[in-house]
Structure 1
């Protein structure tokens, strides 16, 4: 079985209107149907855009409609199924209210989000919600491939393994176990100084700030204590770094997410050859089609570096690859996993 959910939101008549997101949805649909034989019937493919003709239908990307569609995408999946999700629109960040963020980027104090067309009134969809809706219910032998072309999208689905090339192919680390314990040591030193300081408005203010610091440290410790940073991975993987985070006790799912940028970056809504498009959507499809034309399938790591090369001359955003398991990145990219082909 093949299923696809494709979302593109231009936010028409809003102050933050975009230009290329519906075009991205159209291009992705044409790519999946024309290059990968995805079926287009209503039981297999849903394309949601805020084109005016979709208003007042289930294809209009309100928060409620998007949540229903996300659940539909992974329900009743089984071994060998192919599942695709792409989203082109605004991305944002919001604070982590319950402290359960399983983010790959512990240095960002918040949740990555995607923005439905009605997000101002109904709210954004955060990374924890996306993980619980998409990853947790997915059959472990079904393959889910995700393409997110939006700002702050690096850990949008809270997947534990993140691979990121920088502009020069060097390893970059967001936060390691060492960083977190250094944070704790700094806080302890500050607390010791505060205890011996005279009581005043300033010391009360500093105490409140310090309390928030310890709270953040505790959250980071809970996440990063599950992390293992392997510097040698960067040498073997063309400047990529792996950062393992929480959700460690969950069953590993076959999920691969390409995102347009890291958590602290924005993704470009641009024009290429006179056509409005998202830069990441264009780079991803271009790299895949060039590979198909050359009859030389790209590996996952090669696709990531190819999209970076296509973007680097004109855009500062750095694409990322996130996985739910520790897979072999040298395997050829495919949106379908052949039976018994799990990589550990």
Structure 2
């Protein structure tokens, strides 16, 4: 993703902060504290004309919602490397840090490659395919719930799957290299057609994953067990959510 943003999208290296488990610097390891700090760094001092990208590839989870602001009754969560000690990062906190501060003229694109990630940014509008085969917006705002939009800017999130689905790391898309299916399909779609519309990008990602669905397999310590359960029925459908509704068939993506 870092290479893609720099070489294909023109982001300068000094504007990108990367946290990975392989870093020697303890402040660049994706702990809960470091991830929250990086989120704040990303949007600090944001002003009109700024464009932000937040990418997370790792583990996702969900937990029972207690403030009654989720349609399905669950909060979606990111899992830092130390989540068993420090706790998870809940969608309410992600929304408060990355979405709420965005002023008019700013835009945030989030790319979330985790399980249960459909509404990870808690954005009020979800783009779904209708029975007629057209994308339409669903309003996920809840009466009396806290405001989950921005301060005038636009926040758009591409996520790996629906809130009840599992996302995979796989070699089925890239040969012998293990990669997140959603991250891979997003980059491939953007490289093939950098000026595509949001609807076209979402379709391309879904088709890419669907075409290789029988080859998708989970990796990791519980892979063998889960693969036997899920088998060829593994389903993963990338999702699109936004702080405001727009025409996905005419609006072209620009990071």
Kindly state the Cα deviation for residue 245 of structure 1 after the two structures are TM-superposed: 2.4
Name the SS for the 1:67 alignment partner. Answer: helix
Paired with 1:243 and 1:119, the residues of 2 have a C-alpha distance of 32
| 1:148-167 Cα distance to aligned partner (Å, 9 max, x none) | 000000000001111134xx
Q: Which residue of 2 aligns with 1:311?
A: 209
Q: Report the number of matched residues.
A: 226
What's the counterpart of residue 39 of structure 1? 12
SS at match of 1:334: coil
Unaligned runs of 5+ in 2: 142-146, 214-234
Corresponding position of 2:170: 270
| Contact 1:164 1:319 (C-alpha < 8 Å) held by counterparts | no
Q: CA deviation at 1:273?
A: 1.1
1-side partners of 2:80 and 2:106: how far apart? 26
- 1:59 counterpart residue number: 28
Aligned mate of 1:119, from 63, 80, 83: 83
Alignment-derived partner of residue 43 in structure 2: 74
Residue 137 of structure 1: how far off its partner (Å): 1.2
Deviation at 1:239, TM superposition (A): 3.0
Select which of 184, 188, 193 maps to 1:282. 184
- Quote the Cα distance in structure 2 between the aligned partners of 1:35 and 1:324: 26
TM-score normalised according to structure 2 size? 0.84
Residue 212 of structure 2 aligns to a residue in which SS? coil
Report the secondary structure of 1:85's partner residue.
Answer: strand
- In the other structure, the counterpart of 2:253 is 333
User: Is the aligned partner of 1:84 residue 2:53?
Assistant: yes
Structure with the largest fraction of helix: 1
**Aligned match of 2:95:** 131
Please name the residue that 2:21 is paired with: 50
Query: Which among 138, 142, 146 is matched to residue 110 of structure 2?
Result: 146
Which ranges of 4 or more aligned residues in structure 1 deviate by more than 6 Å?
none
Q: Which residue of 1 aligns with 2:3?
A: 30
The answer as to whether partners of 1:252 and 1:325 remain within 8 angstroms in 2 is no
* Greater mean deviation of Cα atoms: 305-314 or 83-92: 305-314
Note the residue ranges of structure 1 that are not aligned, 5 or more in a row.
Answer: 1-27, 166-170, 172-233, 336-344
The CA distance in 2 between the partners of 1:280 and 1:248, in whole Å, is 25
Question: Cα–Cα, structure 1 residues 307 and 266, in superposed 2: closer, same or farther, change >3 Å?
Answer: same
CA distance, structure 1, for counterparts of residue 176 and residue 54 of structure 2? 26
Aligned with 1:300 (options 195, 198, 223): 198
Q: Distance in 2 between matches of 1:59 and 1:249?
A: 29
